Amino acid sequence: MRVLVACEFSGAVRDAFAERGHDAWSCDLLPAETHGNHYQGNVLDIIEDGWDLMIAHPPCTYLASSGLHWNKRRPDRQAFTDAAVAFVQRLLSAPIPRIAVENPIGALSTRVRKPDQIIQPWQFGHDASKATCLWLVNLPLLVPTDVLPGGRLARRANQTASGQNKLGPSPDRWKQRSLTYPGIAQAMADQWGIPNA
């Protein structure tokens, strides 16, 4: 299959599909961090190039619940949220037979539609908590592959006692938080990398 992984610079999801023999490409405004097929630029430039599957990771800066409170304190931010929602709507309506868009809990749940699924890294073998919503078009729900003990009640390695993420402020915090966990990338490739799945 021809697989487009939109808004990905790490190559994690792209590489998982490529390892299974797919013609997989990542696309981001940033250069790729790993060797592999990568289009550096706007995904909308290549979105109509005959893809069979797209997995999109649009930036969540203006979409995530954790930052939406700033829209009331700084009204100029609302325009950025509106533009981010419109970008996601373009991704979801792309002429691609199967689409998955992932993002944290936030504006998309009310401005686009409720997510089809919410997954956690601890469902895929990682001692981490990070609720990730999936909006799916012609794709099945992602089946957990390695659920760690404790489920949603356990405090995970990436959490403080209050349940917040442990990563402190830094210039690349956004980059670290945006990375896809390998277990989730592998599950996507195994479960969605089957023609007509």
| Residue 152 contacts residue 161 (beta carbons within 8 Å) | no
Q: Which residue has the higher pLDDT, 18 or 62?
A: 18
Q: Which of 107-116, 143-152, 154-163 has the lowest mean pLDDT?
A: 154-163
Please check the confidence at residue 196 and state whether its pLDDT lies above 60: yes
Which CATH number, 3.80.30.20, 3.40.50.150, 1.10.645.10, 3.30.460.80, labels domain 2-192? 3.40.50.150
Place of tokens 């792309």: 94
Stated length of the chain: 197
| Cα 24 to the center of its chain, rounded Å | 16
The pLDDT value recorded for residue 47 is 97
Quick one: which of 58, 4, 7, 59 has its CA closest to 32?
A: 7
Tell me what pLDDT residue 118 has: 97
| DSSP classification of residue 19 | T
- Asked if 61 and 174 count as a contact pair (C-beta separation under 8 A), the reply is yes
pLDDT bracket for residue 174 (50, 70, 90): very low
Residue 63 pLDDT: 72
Higher-pLDDT residue of 144, 175: 144
- Whether the Cβ atoms of residue 26 and residue 45 lie closer than 8 Å to each other: no
* Model pLDDT for residues 57-82, shown as the tens digit of each residue: 998 876 776 766 666 677 787 778 88
Q: State the chain's mean pLDDT as an integer.
A: 87
For residue 83, what are the contacts with CB-CB under 8 A and spacing of at least 6? 62
* Secondary structure class of 17 (helix, strand, coil): helix
Whether 24 and 18 have beta carbons less than 8 Å apart is answered as yes
Q: Which residue has the higher pLDDT, 170 or 56?
A: 56
H/E stretch holding 118 reads: strand 117-119
Tell me the C-alpha distance between 144 and 142, whole Å: 6
Residue extents of the structural domains in the chain: 2-192
